[in-house]
Each structure stands twice: as structure tokens, then as C-alpha cells.
Amino acid sequence: GAGVSQSPRYKVAKRGQDVALRCDPISGHVSLFWYQQALGQGPEFLTYFQNEAQLDKSGLPSDRFFAERPEGSVSTLKIQRTQQEDSAVYLCASSFLTGGPTGELFFGEGSRLTVL
Amino acid sequence: AQTVTQSQPEMSVQEAETVTLSCTYDTSESDYYLFWYKQPPSRQMILVIRQEAYKQQNATENRFSVNFQKAAKSFSLKISDSQLGDAAMYFCAYRSAVYSGGGADGLTFGKGTHLIIQP
């Protein structure tokens, strides 16, 4: 597609359930980022992929969070044994390496996770 | 590490009036990009305007313009002739132009300013 696509848009999970959030970036974009956005806050970096390589996962808040991009295109963010503090919007963004000539990141619409 | 500060949690403006949103940032780099993104309730981050640090001329996009003060590390957004559709969260963001192969290649965001347009 023309833009970054994320699914599901909304996910309600019971505490302790596992969830998987999908991101389909713009075709040809080497860089892929995941951000977590708590209510009323700015997005916070979670992890970064360059093609299939996860080069930075320093923002993942715990070992319950896992991300992959096995073929260098679609990425999945998995959260195991969800907790209430995981409730947030998860944003995916993609770009050319170094952002290309404009430095711009392109965002999906986000997946809103609510943990009950 | 870079930081971005938006000191106005909320701003309100009358329709058709002008409003300025403030942003300051801290960096030791000389080459970088600055952005203003708009996030309506739909959650889609929409790029409003972009500024390359090496350019002295302030960027403009129709009703949106910036006041980029590199020495002061200030990057404010001016919205002229405010419209109801401008109501949203506005985020100032920084991106290094130097490749690092990590999360720093992405954006560092401020906490956002909630813009309310009064009809």
C-alpha cells in the first residue's frame, strides 16, 4: 500500500494475555521504528530495525516485549503476559535509511492496546 | 542524548486568529532535522512542517511557518488563520542527520501541545 499500515487498530486484552501487533511499512523503506505512546504523552522509542536486523532494542521496557522483522518488511511487536501499564498506543514508523533527503518518518495509525 | 521540550501543555485560539506553539531542544550536533507533527484523535501522525538545521531560512507551508533559532535551540510553530480542523495534539520532534544505526536515527518527541480552536 501507499502508507504504513498497522493492525489491529484496537486491542483489548485481559491481564496476562499475549498480544501481537503488526506493522506493514512503506515498500522499500529500510528503517522501521516502534514507539509507545502513553495517554497524553509524546511517543517514546521502543526498537529499531534496519531491514531484518534489530539494531536497537534499548527502549523495550521489559523482556515481555519482543519484536521481529524476519524478511525485512512486515514487523510484529509481541507483548507477553500483558500488564495494565502496557496500555498505550503503539506506533510504527518507517523511512529510508537516514530518512533520505527529507529526514521524514512515515507513521501508521497506531494500535491502541487496552489491558484490563 | 537529545531532548525536546514543549512547555505549553495546552493552547487555545479563536478561529481565524494566529497562534504560536513553542519548542526548545538540546543537542550537541550541528546537522539535524526538526519537525512539527499533528496528531488528531484518529492518532495518525501527520507531518506539518520540516526544517533542516543547515538552512537559515525558516520553513513555511501555507498557513504554517516556523521560527527557527539555531543558536537558541528554539523551533516555534506559527499557525495563521486558525481553522477548526487544526485542532489536535502537536508534537515537536528532532532527528539527527548523522547515521548511527540505532534508535537515535528515529525521532525524539516533545510531550506535545493540545491545540483547541474556539469557534
What is the C-alpha to C-alpha distance for residues A106 and A110, in angstroms, rounded to an integer? 12
Pairing of strands A106-107, A44-50: unpaired
What's A41's DSSP letter? S
- The mean of the pLDDT values for chain B is 93
Query: What's the pLDDT at A85?
Result: 95
Please list every residue in chain A whose beta carbon sits closer than 8 Å to the beta carbon of residue B94.
none
Nearest by CB to B43, from A31, A89, A102: name it: A89
What is the C-alpha to C-alpha distance for residues A95 and B95, in angstroms, rounded to an integer? 12
Residue B45 forms contact with A (CB below 8 Å): yes
Average pLDDT score over residue span B80-92: 97
With beta carbons less than 8 A apart as the criterion, state whether A84 and A115 touch.
yes
Is the pLDDT at A102 greater than 80? The verdict is: no
A vs B, Cβ pairs < 8 A, gives: 76
A101-106 contact pairs (CB < 8 A, 24+): A102/B33, A102/B50, A103/B33, A103/B35, A103/B50, A103/B52, A103/B95, A103/B97, A104/B35, A104/B47, A104/B50, A105/A33, A105/B95, A105/B106, A105/B107, A106/A3, A106/A4, A106/A25, A106/A26, A106/A29
Q: Kindly give the residue spans of alpha helices, DSSP state H, lying in chain A.
A: none
How far is A6 from chain B, CA to nearest CA, in Å? 11
Q: Do the Cβ atoms of A55 and B102 come within 8 Å?
A: yes
Query: What's the pLDDT at B19?
Result: 98
Please state, for a pLDDT cut of 90, what percent of chain B lies above it.
Answer: 79
Residue A90 forms contact with B (CB below 8 Å): no
- Higher local confidence (pLDDT), A37 or B100: A37
- Higher local confidence (pLDDT), A100 or B15: B15
Task: Please write the tens of the pLDDT for every residue from B39-56.
Answer: 998 888 999 999 999 998
Query: What's the pLDDT at A98?
Result: 62
> What SS3 state is found at A9?
coil
